[in-house]
Amino acid sequence: MGNRHRPHPPPPAPSGPGPVDLAARVGAFTADLLPGGRYTAPDRAQRRAVADGVLGALDGRTGKAGRALARVGYRITEFTEASTGRRVAEIAAVDDIGDGRGWGRIYLDRSARPTWSVQVPHPASDAHTEALGVELFRAVPGGVLVLAGAHRRAGADGCADVAHRSDTVFAAVVEALTGRGLPGIQVHGFRAASLPGRDAVVSSGAGRPGPAAELTAAGLGGAGLVVCRAWREPGVPLAGTTNVEGRFAAGLGVPWLHVELAYGVRAEPARRAVVAGVLAETVRGWRAG
Protein backbone atom coordinates (compact mmCIF):
# COMPACT_ATOMS: atom_id res chain seq x y z
CA MET A 1 0.00 0.00 0.00
CA GLY A 2 2.83 2.40 0.77
CA ASN A 3 4.09 2.46 -2.80
CA ARG A 4 0.68 3.51 -4.06
CA HIS A 5 0.96 6.86 -2.30
CA ARG A 6 4.38 7.83 -3.70
CA PRO A 7 4.00 9.78 -6.93
CA HIS A 8 5.95 8.52 -9.89
CA PRO A 9 6.06 9.54 -13.54
CA PRO A 10 3.89 7.64 -16.01
CA PRO A 11 5.67 4.96 -17.99
CA PRO A 12 6.81 6.13 -21.42
CA ALA A 13 4.83 5.13 -24.44
CA PRO A 14 6.20 1.92 -25.96
CA SER A 15 8.52 2.54 -28.85
CA GLY A 16 10.90 0.49 -30.94
CA PRO A 17 10.90 -3.29 -31.35
CA GLY A 18 11.24 -4.25 -27.68
CA PRO A 19 8.43 -6.30 -26.11
CA VAL A 20 6.20 -4.80 -23.41
CA ASP A 21 4.97 -6.62 -20.30
CA LEU A 22 1.29 -5.73 -20.32
CA ALA A 23 0.76 -6.76 -16.69
CA ALA A 24 3.51 -4.43 -15.55
CA ARG A 25 2.26 -1.62 -17.75
CA VAL A 26 -1.31 -1.91 -16.48
CA GLY A 27 -0.06 -2.27 -12.90
CA ALA A 28 1.92 0.97 -13.19
CA PHE A 29 -1.16 2.74 -14.56
CA THR A 30 -3.51 1.57 -11.80
CA ALA A 31 -1.06 1.99 -8.91
CA ASP A 32 -2.07 5.60 -8.25
CA LEU A 33 -5.84 5.22 -8.61
CA LEU A 34 -7.01 6.33 -5.17
CA PRO A 35 -10.30 7.13 -3.42
CA GLY A 36 -10.87 10.84 -3.63
CA GLY A 37 -8.61 11.15 -6.65
CA ARG A 38 -9.34 13.46 -9.53
CA TYR A 39 -11.92 12.58 -12.12
CA THR A 40 -13.47 14.75 -14.82
CA ALA A 41 -16.74 13.58 -16.33
CA PRO A 42 -16.57 13.55 -20.15
CA ASP A 43 -19.22 15.22 -22.25
CA ARG A 44 -21.12 13.41 -25.00
CA ALA A 45 -18.73 14.48 -27.77
CA GLN A 46 -15.70 13.33 -25.78
CA ARG A 47 -17.25 9.95 -25.04
CA ARG A 48 -18.15 9.54 -28.69
CA ALA A 49 -14.65 10.46 -29.86
CA VAL A 50 -13.01 7.70 -27.82
CA ALA A 51 -15.65 5.14 -28.80
CA ASP A 52 -15.28 6.08 -32.48
CA GLY A 53 -11.53 5.76 -32.15
CA VAL A 54 -11.86 2.28 -30.71
CA LEU A 55 -14.23 1.16 -33.46
CA GLY A 56 -11.97 2.65 -36.10
CA ALA A 57 -9.03 0.77 -34.66
CA LEU A 58 -11.04 -2.46 -34.63
CA ASP A 59 -11.81 -1.93 -38.32
CA GLY A 60 -8.17 -1.30 -39.17
CA ARG A 61 -8.83 2.36 -40.01
CA THR A 62 -5.92 3.55 -37.90
CA GLY A 63 -5.65 7.00 -39.47
CA LYS A 64 -9.31 7.84 -38.97
CA ALA A 65 -9.21 6.38 -35.46
CA GLY A 66 -6.15 8.42 -34.58
CA ARG A 67 -7.79 11.64 -35.73
CA ALA A 68 -10.89 10.99 -33.63
CA LEU A 69 -8.80 10.18 -30.57
CA ALA A 70 -6.50 13.18 -31.01
CA ARG A 71 -9.48 15.49 -30.53
CA VAL A 72 -9.60 14.42 -26.89
CA GLY A 73 -5.90 13.96 -26.21
CA TYR A 74 -5.80 10.20 -26.85
CA ARG A 75 -3.52 8.19 -29.12
CA ILE A 76 -2.98 4.67 -30.46
CA THR A 77 0.32 2.96 -29.73
CA GLU A 78 1.23 -0.56 -30.84
CA PHE A 79 3.72 -2.95 -29.28
CA THR A 80 4.55 -6.62 -28.98
CA GLU A 81 3.25 -8.08 -25.75
CA ALA A 82 6.07 -9.87 -23.94
CA SER A 83 4.15 -12.86 -22.58
CA THR A 84 2.27 -13.81 -25.75
CA GLY A 85 4.38 -12.37 -28.55
CA ARG A 86 1.20 -10.91 -30.04
CA ARG A 87 0.80 -7.37 -31.32
CA VAL A 88 -1.34 -5.19 -29.08
CA ALA A 89 -2.73 -1.71 -29.66
CA GLU A 90 -3.07 0.60 -26.65
CA ILE A 91 -5.62 3.41 -26.77
CA ALA A 92 -4.81 5.82 -23.97
CA ALA A 93 -4.51 9.47 -23.05
CA VAL A 94 -1.23 11.02 -24.10
CA ASP A 95 -0.53 11.69 -20.40
CA ASP A 96 -2.81 9.46 -18.28
CA ILE A 97 -1.62 10.69 -14.90
CA GLY A 98 -0.91 14.29 -15.79
CA ASP A 99 -4.26 15.08 -17.36
CA GLY A 100 -6.18 13.80 -14.34
CA ARG A 101 -9.37 13.02 -16.24
CA GLY A 102 -9.45 9.34 -15.34
CA TRP A 103 -11.12 8.07 -18.49
CA GLY A 104 -9.20 4.81 -18.76
CA ARG A 105 -7.49 2.73 -21.41
CA ILE A 106 -8.36 0.14 -24.02
CA TYR A 107 -6.14 -2.67 -25.32
CA LEU A 108 -6.82 -4.50 -28.59
CA ASP A 109 -5.27 -7.80 -29.57
CA ARG A 110 -4.09 -7.36 -33.16
CA SER A 111 -3.38 -11.05 -33.76
CA ALA A 112 -6.98 -12.00 -34.58
CA ARG A 113 -10.32 -10.52 -35.51
CA PRO A 114 -11.85 -8.93 -32.36
CA THR A 115 -14.62 -11.16 -31.05
CA TRP A 116 -14.94 -10.57 -27.29
CA SER A 117 -14.12 -8.16 -24.45
CA VAL A 118 -13.04 -8.25 -20.83
CA GLN A 119 -14.15 -5.24 -18.80
CA VAL A 120 -12.48 -3.99 -15.60
CA PRO A 121 -14.66 -1.21 -14.14
CA HIS A 122 -13.10 -0.96 -10.67
CA PRO A 123 -9.31 -1.32 -10.90
CA ALA A 124 -7.51 -0.70 -7.60
CA SER A 125 -10.77 -0.52 -5.62
CA ASP A 126 -11.59 -4.14 -6.55
CA ALA A 127 -7.95 -5.06 -6.00
CA HIS A 128 -6.30 -7.38 -8.53
CA THR A 129 -9.21 -7.35 -10.99
CA GLU A 130 -6.92 -5.45 -13.34
CA ALA A 131 -4.42 -8.33 -13.13
CA LEU A 132 -7.18 -10.84 -13.84
CA GLY A 133 -8.27 -8.76 -16.83
CA VAL A 134 -4.75 -8.89 -18.27
CA GLU A 135 -4.48 -12.64 -17.70
CA LEU A 136 -7.75 -13.30 -19.49
CA PHE A 137 -6.85 -10.91 -22.32
CA ARG A 138 -3.60 -12.81 -22.83
CA ALA A 139 -5.30 -16.20 -22.73
CA VAL A 140 -7.51 -15.95 -25.83
CA PRO A 141 -6.76 -14.11 -29.09
CA GLY A 142 -9.16 -11.51 -30.46
CA GLY A 143 -9.84 -9.79 -27.16
CA VAL A 144 -10.43 -6.20 -26.16
CA LEU A 145 -9.48 -5.16 -22.62
CA VAL A 146 -11.46 -2.15 -21.39
CA LEU A 147 -9.94 -0.64 -18.25
CA ALA A 148 -11.46 2.16 -16.18
CA GLY A 149 -9.10 5.03 -15.34
CA ALA A 150 -10.15 6.09 -11.85
CA HIS A 151 -10.94 4.61 -8.48
CA ARG A 152 -14.68 4.06 -8.16
CA ARG A 153 -14.79 6.62 -5.31
CA ALA A 154 -12.86 9.30 -7.18
CA GLY A 155 -14.61 12.53 -8.03
CA ALA A 156 -17.93 13.38 -6.41
CA ASP A 157 -21.34 11.73 -6.09
CA GLY A 158 -20.25 8.42 -7.59
CA CYS A 159 -19.42 10.00 -10.95
CA ALA A 160 -16.42 7.68 -11.47
CA ASP A 161 -18.28 4.43 -10.77
CA VAL A 162 -18.39 3.34 -14.38
CA ALA A 163 -20.42 0.20 -13.70
CA HIS A 164 -23.34 2.35 -12.62
CA ARG A 165 -22.99 5.44 -14.83
CA SER A 166 -23.82 5.66 -18.50
CA ASP A 167 -22.05 9.02 -18.96
CA THR A 168 -18.48 7.64 -18.93
CA VAL A 169 -15.89 6.79 -21.55
CA PHE A 170 -15.89 3.23 -20.20
CA ALA A 171 -19.63 2.83 -20.82
CA ALA A 172 -19.39 4.43 -24.26
CA VAL A 173 -16.61 2.06 -25.34
CA VAL A 174 -18.31 -1.05 -23.96
CA GLU A 175 -21.59 -0.06 -25.61
CA ALA A 176 -19.79 0.45 -28.92
CA LEU A 177 -18.26 -3.02 -28.68
CA THR A 178 -21.54 -4.58 -27.59
CA GLY A 179 -23.27 -2.85 -30.48
CA ARG A 180 -20.90 -4.74 -32.76
CA GLY A 181 -22.07 -7.98 -31.14
CA LEU A 182 -18.97 -8.65 -29.03
CA PRO A 183 -19.88 -10.61 -25.89
CA GLY A 184 -18.17 -9.51 -22.70
CA ILE A 185 -17.08 -10.56 -19.24
CA GLN A 186 -16.98 -7.90 -16.53
CA VAL A 187 -14.87 -8.76 -13.49
CA HIS A 188 -15.50 -7.45 -9.98
CA GLY A 189 -14.40 -8.15 -6.43
CA PHE A 190 -16.11 -8.37 -3.05
CA ARG A 191 -15.13 -8.60 0.59
CA ALA A 192 -15.70 -11.91 2.33
CA ALA A 193 -18.10 -10.26 4.77
CA SER A 194 -20.38 -9.29 1.89
CA LEU A 195 -21.20 -12.92 1.13
CA PRO A 196 -19.71 -15.26 3.74
CA GLY A 197 -18.77 -18.73 2.62
CA ARG A 198 -18.73 -17.93 -1.09
CA ASP A 199 -15.78 -17.45 -3.40
CA ALA A 200 -17.59 -16.22 -6.49
CA VAL A 201 -20.90 -14.93 -7.80
CA VAL A 202 -21.75 -15.52 -11.45
CA SER A 203 -24.63 -13.77 -13.16
CA SER A 204 -25.81 -12.39 -16.47
CA GLY A 205 -26.68 -9.07 -14.87
CA ALA A 206 -30.03 -7.87 -16.17
CA GLY A 207 -30.10 -10.58 -18.83
CA ARG A 208 -31.34 -14.14 -18.76
CA PRO A 209 -28.73 -16.74 -17.80
CA GLY A 210 -27.49 -18.65 -20.78
CA PRO A 211 -24.98 -21.38 -21.54
CA ALA A 212 -22.02 -19.12 -20.80
CA ALA A 213 -23.22 -18.43 -17.27
CA GLU A 214 -23.78 -22.11 -16.60
CA LEU A 215 -20.42 -23.06 -18.12
CA THR A 216 -18.58 -20.44 -16.08
CA ALA A 217 -20.23 -21.36 -12.80
CA ALA A 218 -19.62 -25.06 -13.38
CA GLY A 219 -15.99 -24.40 -14.30
CA LEU A 220 -15.33 -22.33 -11.21
CA GLY A 221 -17.06 -24.90 -9.04
CA GLY A 222 -15.03 -27.69 -10.62
CA ALA A 223 -11.89 -25.72 -9.79
CA GLY A 224 -12.79 -25.79 -6.11
CA LEU A 225 -14.50 -22.43 -5.67
CA VAL A 226 -17.76 -22.10 -3.78
CA VAL A 227 -19.96 -20.45 -6.40
CA CYS A 228 -23.23 -18.57 -6.11
CA ARG A 229 -25.35 -18.84 -9.25
CA ALA A 230 -27.31 -15.60 -8.96
CA TRP A 231 -30.19 -16.82 -11.15
CA ARG A 232 -30.91 -19.59 -8.64
CA GLU A 233 -30.83 -17.31 -5.58
CA PRO A 234 -33.23 -14.39 -6.08
CA GLY A 235 -32.24 -11.32 -4.10
CA VAL A 236 -28.63 -12.39 -3.65
CA PRO A 237 -26.30 -9.38 -3.44
CA LEU A 238 -23.63 -8.75 -6.09
CA ALA A 239 -25.78 -10.02 -8.94
CA GLY A 240 -25.06 -6.99 -11.13
CA THR A 241 -28.68 -6.39 -12.14
CA THR A 242 -28.22 -2.60 -12.08
CA ASN A 243 -24.95 -2.65 -14.03
CA VAL A 244 -25.33 -0.26 -16.97
CA GLU A 245 -23.12 -2.23 -19.37
CA GLY A 246 -25.03 -5.39 -18.51
CA ARG A 247 -28.37 -3.70 -19.11
CA PHE A 248 -27.21 -2.45 -22.49
CA ALA A 249 -26.07 -5.95 -23.48
CA ALA A 250 -29.36 -7.46 -22.30
CA GLY A 251 -31.28 -4.97 -24.42
CA LEU A 252 -29.40 -6.13 -27.51
CA GLY A 253 -29.43 -9.82 -26.60
CA VAL A 254 -25.61 -9.97 -26.58
CA PRO A 255 -24.03 -12.46 -24.12
CA TRP A 256 -22.55 -10.73 -21.10
CA LEU A 257 -21.31 -12.05 -17.76
CA HIS A 258 -20.84 -10.39 -14.38
CA VAL A 259 -18.27 -12.28 -12.29
CA GLU A 260 -17.63 -11.32 -8.66
CA LEU A 261 -14.66 -12.82 -6.83
CA ALA A 262 -13.70 -12.81 -3.17
CA TYR A 263 -10.47 -11.05 -2.25
CA GLY A 264 -8.62 -14.26 -1.43
CA VAL A 265 -9.30 -15.62 -4.91
CA ARG A 266 -8.14 -12.42 -6.63
CA ALA A 267 -5.05 -11.85 -4.49
CA GLU A 268 -3.48 -15.30 -4.77
CA PRO A 269 -1.78 -15.64 -8.17
CA ALA A 270 -2.39 -19.37 -8.48
CA ARG A 271 -6.11 -19.07 -7.75
CA ARG A 272 -6.42 -16.05 -10.01
CA ALA A 273 -4.79 -18.02 -12.81
CA VAL A 274 -7.33 -20.81 -12.34
CA VAL A 275 -10.17 -18.30 -12.66
CA ALA A 276 -8.60 -16.84 -15.79
CA GLY A 277 -8.42 -20.33 -17.25
CA VAL A 278 -12.10 -20.98 -16.57
CA LEU A 279 -13.14 -17.65 -18.06
CA ALA A 280 -10.95 -18.34 -21.08
CA GLU A 281 -12.94 -21.52 -21.74
CA THR A 282 -16.13 -19.44 -21.70
CA VAL A 283 -14.61 -17.05 -24.22
CA ARG A 284 -13.49 -19.92 -26.46
CA GLY A 285 -17.06 -21.16 -26.42
CA TRP A 286 -18.21 -17.78 -27.71
CA ARG A 287 -15.53 -17.74 -30.40
CA ALA A 288 -16.43 -21.26 -31.51
CA GLY A 289 -20.08 -20.31 -31.73
Out of 3.40.190.10, 3.40.630.100, 3.40.50.720, 3.50.50.60, select the CATH number for domain 17-288: 3.40.630.100
Flag whether pLDDT at 6 surpasses 70.
Answer: no
pTM: 0.93
- Summarize the confidence of residues 71-80 as an average pLDDT: 96
Domain-by-domain residue ranges, the chain? 17-288
Flag whether pLDDT at 94 surpasses 60.
Answer: yes
**So what's the pLDDT on residue 1?**
34
Q: Determine if residue 13 is left, alpha or beta; phi over 0 gives left, psi from -120 to 50 gives alpha, anything else beta.
A: beta
Q: Which residue has the higher pLDDT, 75 or 6?
A: 75
Residue 52: which pLDDT band, with cuts at 50, 70 and 90? Answer: very high
pLDDT digits (tens, 9 = 90+) for 154-190: 988 899 999 999 999 999 999 999 999 999 999 999 9
